[in-house]
Amino acid sequence: MAEVTIFHNPACSKSRGALAILEERGIDAEVVRYLDTPPDRATIERILDAIDDEPVALVRTDDPKFRAAGLTRADVASREQVVEVLAAHPEVMQRPVVVRGDRAVIGRPPERVLDLLG
């Protein structure tokens, strides 16, 4: 990964906002359109290692796509389950995720990315 990587969905206003914050600060981030290039298991594991949130925070459990996949919160109760679900259904990964070194944040709200830059 580059020094800063953003797992980005251009259709998401929060994701666009986080990317704009990076660009405004002159940060040349690697932009990964995770719906086009889904993260592999190892990448999902690295993200989970890097965020301060519980693993389930990386999953959009309120998204209609989560329910459409037949998933429930019980399916993402453990870290391993989160990895399995996101590997199979990248469309339910929370966005944006910004990674810098061994730290990462879920950019909701987008201003959370400032925590990585300070």
**Cross-strand partners of 36:** none
Q: How far apart, in whole angstroms, are the C-alpha atoms of residue 7 and residue 104?
A: 11
Closest by Cα among 22, 19, 23 to 34: 19
Q: How far apart, in whole angstroms, are the C-alpha atoms of residue 44 and residue 86?
A: 8
Name the catalytic one among 8, 12, 84, 111: 12
Examine the residue annotation and report whether 118 is marked as an active-site residue of this protein. no
The catalytic residue positions are 12
